[in-house]
Each structure stands twice: as C-alpha cells, then as structure tokens.
Amino acid sequence: MNGVMIFRAIEAVRALACAMLAALLAIVPAPLAAQDDLAGWSLDPFARAEVGVVLSESEDRDDELIINGDGGYMRGQIGVEIRNGTTEVRLEADRIEVERFGSATGRNGYNRDRLTASITHKLDDDWEVQLRARVYDDLVTVESSDTDEVQFSARVEYEPERAHRFRVRGTWRDREYDDGSGPGGASSKGEGLRFDAGYRHRLGRYHYINFDLRAEESTSDNPLRGYTRESVSASYTRPITSDLRVRPAIELRQTAFAGRLTPDTSLREDTQVVPEVEFLWWPGNWRIEAEAKYIFADSNDPVRDRRGYRLSLSIGHVF
C-alpha cells in the first residue's frame, strides 16, 4: 500500500469514527456520562486463528490447457465489540497469508490485510441499520490480483419474525491497482457501487434457506479494470447434529469487462455456474469447515472457457 492509499485509509477510518461518535451521541442519552449509567454497555474482545488448504484444477473443453491452483493459508483475526441492548460498535483487524504451490499461475503468494469498523443499531423489534467502513490491502479481485480498496456501506435489515429476514446493502468501493497503468505510469484506479439483497427463511436452529442477489460495477482509468457483474445464489443449511451442519448451494455469475477483448475483438463476457456443498463442524470453540465446488465457466474468450473443481479444508479456533 503506497502513501496515498495509506492516507485515504486513515481518512476513511477517521470519517467513520466521527460518524460513529455522532451516532452514539444521538443514540445514547446524556445521563450515560455518569459511571452508574454505563452498566448497560459491555466490551467483548474476540480473536480467531485459522489454517487451511485449497486444491483446485481447471481445464478447457479440449483438455489442452490445465491449470492447478493449489495452496495453503494462515489467517488471524482480532477485534472488539462494544454494545448495549440496541447498539453495537465493532472494530476488527484480519490478516491472511497465502502460499501457492504446484503449478499455480500468477503470484506465488500474497498477504491480505483488512480493517473493519461498523456500527449497528436496532430501530425497533423489526428494523435494524448498519454503517460499515473497510480498508483492504493486497486484495485479489475479479479484475486484478493486487488491489487496495477503501469501501463504505449501509445496510438495512427487516425481520418481522424469526422465520423471515430481509437485508439490503449498498457499498461504494474506491480501488487502486498495482499495475503501473495509470496516468504517467502510476497505479491505476477504479471505483463503483455494489448492491446486495438477501432473504433468509429460518426453519429451525441452524436450519435455513437463503436467496441472494448482487449487482456491481467498477469503472477505471485503465480499461482492463472496468467491469459489471450480476449474480444470484441459493443455499440450504441443515443441521445434522448439534455441532455439524451441511450447506449445499448454487450460484450463477455473469461478468462483462469494459476493455478486455477476445481474439475476434469482441468485449469479453463470462458466465459461471457454481454448485457446491459445505460441511461445518463447530465443536466448542473449534471451527472445522470443508467445501467442495465445481465451476462451469463459459466465455466468448476461448482461454476462459473452462471447467474445474475446488476443494478446501480449514481448521480454526475462536477465542
């Protein structure tokens, strides 16, 4: 992350902190300044450590291009939650170190850092709102393997009863790519809006049906970085035992790139269908998760017209 990006990140965190302070002053009555009135607030630190391995392989329709993407990673997360009956402030730092091996293409490894600050407030028994800011360093995105990002988002949740929950979120993202393709050879930049909508039907404890929609767009001074994407997904989570769950899911993604050309000079367009199944075993403070997915990728660029699998296993512990 260069100096400009660091300054933007600091400004983003400062702006959110000011917004949080203003929100807290509006939400928390003045008498809470007295020590006796702070009893309704709690401070809960948390942490998580995790290691994982990923095995993946894809090939084109003629089995002439085979790409392996095997790797392993370590992840650490620390944070704190400050809450009372209606308001929660959450601060979180998260780092992932990834090492690729085998015949993986692209970077051999990378480290992704993320800082998150959010405030969530319940308006009443049915409605909840959230403001969130995030800063990423060295993020892998659909348009680049090395992206720094500052994002702001607002979420509205409506849960008239435990069986039904509706959520919508709007996110503004400001990105910087480490490619030297901007004006004067500087890093290029991108920005755009992402919109998410989701519905969850609760059938019982850890027993859910989820439907999610997403639409996003990013424009950039580097034509290779601009894109639009729409996706729809559905999942079903079912408990097997008190601490073991299974979650089959399927997702459809459609991506159009603003400046990437195919061999016949058409703009590149990709369509992916991704069925998957995930097992989550959470005995006590342990988090053991295994996932298997198969990716059907169709594209008007023959190099991107592929099929492949991805298997992952992670073992984590929460504190």
**Secondary structure letter of residue 281 according to DSSP:** E
Predicted local distance difference test score (pLDDT) of residue 33 = 43
Spatial separation of the C-alpha atoms in residues 157 and 224, rounded to whole Å: 35
**Secondary structure letter of residue 20 according to DSSP:** H
Q: Tell me if 212 sits within 8 A of 201, measured CB to CB.
A: no
Spatial separation of the C-alpha atoms in residues 199 and 232, rounded to whole Å: 12
For tokens 């089995």, the residue is 63
**Secondary structure letter of residue 187 according to DSSP:** P
Spatial separation of the C-alpha atoms in residues 65 and 75, rounded to whole Å: 32
Single out the residue of 137, 47, 32 nearest to residue 91, CA to CA.
47
List the pLDDT tens digit at each of the 319 positions of the chain. Answer: 454 544 555 455 555 555 554 544 454 444 444 444 556 889 999 999 999 999 998 887 666 566 778 899 999 999 999 999 899 999 999 999 999 886 555 667 788 999 999 999 999 999 999 999 999 998 888 888 889 999 999 999 999 999 999 999 999 999 998 877 666 667 889 999 999 999 999 999 999 999 999 999 999 988 889 999 999 999 999 999 999 999 999 999 999 999 888 888 899 999 999 999 999 999 999 999 999 999 999 999 888 888 999 999 999 999 9
Predicted local distance difference test score (pLDDT) of residue 185 = 67
Q: Tell me if 304 sits within 8 A of 67, measured CB to CB.
A: no
Single out the residue of 245, 241, 276, 262 nearest to residue 305, CA to CA.
262
Max CA pair span of the chain: 72
Q: Which pair of structure tokens corresponds to residue 276?
A: 């998957």
Cα dist from 45 to 8, 49, 90, 92, whole Å: 27, 14, 10, 10
Predicted local distance difference test score (pLDDT) of residue 30 = 45
Spatial separation of the C-alpha atoms in residues 298 and 11, rounded to whole Å: 41
For tokens 């767009």, the residue is 217
Q: Tell me if 113 sits within 8 A of 90, measured CB to CB.
A: no
Q: Please say whether the dihedral angle defined by the alpha carbons of residues 106, 297, 151 and 225, taken in this order, is positive or negative.
A: positive
The alpha-carbon radius of gyration of the chain (Å, integer) is: 22
Spatial separation of the C-alpha atoms in residues 149 and 89, rounded to whole Å: 22
Predicted local distance difference test score (pLDDT) of residue 259 = 87
Exposure b/e, 211-250, CB count within 10 A at least 16 = b = ebebebbbebbbebbbbbbebebebebebeeeeebebebe
Predicted local distance difference test score (pLDDT) of residue 142 = 86
Predicted local distance difference test score (pLDDT) of residue 35 = 47
What is the set of domains in the chain, with CATH numbers?
3-29+41-318 (2.40.160.40)
Strands 244-261 and 42-60: unpaired
Element (H, E) at 132: strand 127-139
Predicted local distance difference test score (pLDDT) of residue 2 = 52
